[in-house]
Amino acid sequence: MLNLESVGMERGLLYETVVTTRNEDGTPNAAPMGVICKNENEVVLYLHQGSQTVMNVKREEKFLVNITKDPMVFVESTLGNPSQESFEHFDNGYYIKGTDAFLVVEVLRMRDVEREDQFGVSTTTVINAKVQEIVKKKDHVEPLNRAIYGVIEALVYLTRMEMVSGDMEKLYRHRMREISRIVNKVGGLEHKRAMKRISDAFSKYE
Ligand SMILES: Cc1cc2nc3c(=O)[nH]c(=O)nc-3n(C[C@H](O)[C@H](O)[C@H](O)COP(=O)(O)O)c2cc1C
């Protein structure tokens, strides 16, 4: 059955994935992208202007979402592109060899929005896409969500607060605010509840 739960994706959470698209000349492109699980067969992506991915998605209206935790795949697809041999054909598109699973998705709606965030005003294309196929390559698939790492990092900072002072203390306070922002953006209810407890405990250092 077509259900994102089969690859461990929960409604409302944002996962770090690697999106593979087709360039105009037919060659593959890969880039890390956040994918929000909207419901059991729909995802939402926020694609910033300027990437090859956004151009390809707008033109092809179809792409693949690779679920992987391979660090080199993330690095290579951020700094450039993995080598041609790292891709495997699927239908008209490509997935990344060695991926734990991939989703074949088709754009339902896309709209350009002006967004203002910490980096200033920019145009973002919001993509709603329907999952058409889920291909599992491994028995155990766990999509990458940053919230648990944030919670652990925040706890480490919290337990070090008694040991630091001056600039380091300031840096930890700053990091704590940033981690809280991320956990609340990408996490689920339990992550947010956990982060709230940490922030409450941390408030004595603010
Ligand atoms: C973990 C991670 C998540 C990312 N998520 C997004 C995202 O959701 N939207 C986006 O526009 N860029 C995102 N980026 C940045 C793009 O991956 C980056 O701009 C990339 O170079 C674009 O490659 P391309 O031009 O081949 O598409 C992310 C980067 C990383 C490392």
Structure tokens at 114: 């002006």
Please, are residues 45 and 19 in contact by the beta-carbon 8 Å criterion?
yes
pLDDT tens, N- to C-terminus, the chain (206 residues)? 689 999 999 999 999 999 999 999 999 999 999 999 999 999 999 999 999 999 999 999 999 999 999 999 999 999 999 999 999 999 999 999 999 999 999 999 999 999 888 788 999 999 999 999 999 999 999 999 999 999 999 999 999 999 999 999 999 999 999 999 999 999 999 999 999 999 999 999 98
Counting ligand 1 atoms within 8 A of each CB, the residue from 17, 53, 72 with the most, and so the one to mutate, is: 53
Q: Give me the phi and psi of 135, to 5 degrees please.
A: -115, 115
Superfamily of domain 4-136: Electron Transport, Fmn-binding Protein; Chain A (2.30.110.10)
pLDDT score for 47: 97
Which of 127, 185, 129, 97 has the alpha carbon at shortest distance from 4?
A: 129
Q: Is 16 in the pocket of ligand 1 (CB under 6 A)?
A: yes
- Closest residue to atom 5 of ligand 1, CA basis: 33
Write the pLDDT tens digit of every residue in 127-155: 999 999 999 999 999 999 999 999 999 99
The CATH class of 147-205 is mainly alpha
Rg (CA), the chain: 19
The reported pLDDT for the residue numbered 173 is: 96
Can you tell me whether residue 139 is helix, strand or coil?
coil
| Nearest atom, ligand 1, residue 50 CA | 25
The residue contributing the CA closest to ligand 1 atom 29 is 32
Start-end of CATH 2.30.110.10 domains in the chain = 4-136
What residue spans in the chain does CATH classification 1.20.58 cover? 147-205
Find, among 144, 102, 145, 105, the residue nearest to 128 by Cα.
105
> Residue by residue, what is the 3-state secondary structure of 82-127?
CCHHHEEEECCEEEECCCCEEEEEEEEEEEEEEEEECCEEEEEEEE
Contact 90, 64 (CB under 8 A): yes
